Amino acid sequence: MPREVTHTAHGPRILTPADVDDEKGDVAICLCGLSEEYPFCDGSHRRTEDESPDTLYKYVDGERREVTVKEE
Ligand code: FES
């Protein structure tokens, strides 16, 4: 499932023991790129569950758009 995500950070975010979720006992890092709590997962990845593997998507201001890729 390809997805184009815009990142604006210019460096790493160092994780500390304070980042561990007290209830779950773990730290979930967002790999979908859509979390409002980035770099932590906030469940936003559920919005990607119906993405087609043959379509490129871009999420802008919470809205999903299909990206048309021109072939040369
Ligand atoms: S993996 Fe991105 S919000 Fe969960």
pLDDT tens-digit readout, 10-47: 999 999 999 999 999 999 999 999 999 989 999 999 99
Strand, helix or coil for residue 46: helix
What ranges do the domains of the chain cover? 1-6+23-72
Residue closest by Cα to atom 1 of ligand 1: 30
Q: Return the pLDDT at 8.
A: 85
Q: Return the pLDDT at 1.
A: 60
User: pLDDT tens-digit profile of 42-53?
Assistant: 999 999 999 999
72 C-alpha to ligand 1 centroid (Å): 33
- Which residues on adjacent β-strands are paired with residue 22? none
